[in-house]
A = this chain, B = another copy of it.
Amino acid sequence: MNYYSSEMLGFAAGIVTTLALLPQALKIFTTRKTRDISLLWAVSMNVGIVIWLCYGLAKDDLPMIAANSVSLALLFVILLFKLRYR
């Protein structure tokens, strides 16, 4: 697979997993309910995505840097919701 094909694959993956967080954030925003969501999941995902972002920066991998930056913002909002609406 050539460089551009694999980059496109990376961007596609990043767009899908990042957009995946939107309906979850919107659901919590509208219902104000987070009981079925694991706090440990929310905390670990924030920590883990920070490390993925560092990995993307270390490898100079644009799809990983872009996807993980936006994902981190959304996951941080989800974590704040989880802490606010237990």
Number of interface residues of A (CB under 8 A): 39
- Given A36-B34, A37-B24, the answer on whether A55 and B63 have CB atoms closer than 8 Å is yes
Contact, CB under 8 Å: A27 / B16: no
Q: Write the nearest CB–CB distance from A47 to chain B, whole angstroms.
A: 6
8 Å CB contact of A37 from B26, B37, B40: B37
User: Would B33 and A35 count as touching, CB distance under 8 A?
Assistant: yes
Let me know if A28 is at the binding interface, CB within 8 A: yes
Chain A residues near B (Cβ < 8 Å):
1, 5-6, 9-10, 12-14, 16-17, 19-21, 23-24, 26-28, 31, 33-38, 40-41, 44-45, 47-49, 51-52, 54-55, 58-59, 63
CB pairs A–B below 8 angstroms (29 shown): A1-B58, A6-B55, A6-B58, A6-B59, A9-B51, A9-B54, A9-B55, A10-B52, A13-B49, A14-B52, A16-B51, A17-B45, A20-B40, A20-B41, A20-B45, A20-B48, A21-B41, A23-B41, A24-B38, A24-B40, A24-B41, A26-B38, A27-B37, A28-B36, A31-B36, A33-B35, A34-B36, A35-B35, A35-B36
